[in-house]
Every structure is written in structure tokens, then in C-alpha cells.
């Protein structure tokens, strides 16, 4: 791939499903899938200053 960077701007959230929480939000999903194609992708978002926010930041850091 070339050296272009793709940035998703918007929400990152927990999808609360019967089988448990899963990270979601259109920009996060897009960035994840485009990175699987070899592009460098980032998310610009905000999260709450609480345990859910801390957890999603940790999840995104280890998923990188």
C-alpha cells in the first residue's frame, strides 16, 4: 500500500448485545476494516471519563 493515512472521525461506543459488549461505531468499524487491507488508519473521537471509556480505550490500544 502507499503511505496514505485514513482517519475516521466520530463516535466510538460499546454495542451492548445479548452475547456481551462489542466495540462499535461506524468510524471505528471503518478504521478497523480498512487497516485489515493494509492502510494506516486512525480514529478521532471522545470517550467518557468513566470505566466504560477507560475500557474502550484499552481495547482500542491492544487492537491496534
| CA–CA separation, 61 and 3 (whole Å) | 21
Largest CA distance in the chain: 40
Where residue 3 falls among pLDDT bands split at 50, 70, 90?
confident
pLDDT digits (tens, 9 = 90+) for 4-59: 899 999 999 999 999 999 999 999 999 999 999 999 999 999 999 999 999 999 99
Phi then psi for residue 53, to 5 deg, are -65, -45
| CA–CA separation, 56 and 12 (whole Å) | 8
| CA–CA separation, 33 and 26 (whole Å) | 11
53 neighbors 31 (Cβ within 8 angstroms): no
User: What is the number of domains present in the chain?
Assistant: 1
Its domain, for residue 23, covers 5-63
Amino acid at each position: 500500500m502507499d503511505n496514505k493515512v485514513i482517519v475516521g472521525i466520530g463516535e466510538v461506543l460499546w454495542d451492548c448485545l445479548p452475547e456481551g459488549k462489542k466495540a462499535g461505531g461506524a468510524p471505528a468499524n471503518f478504521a478497523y476494516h480498512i487497516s485489515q487491507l493494509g492502510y494506516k488508519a486512525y480514529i478521532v473521537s471522545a470517550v467518557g471519563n468513566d470505566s466504560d471509556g477507560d475500557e474502550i480505550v484499552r481495547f482500542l490500544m491492544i487492537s491496534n
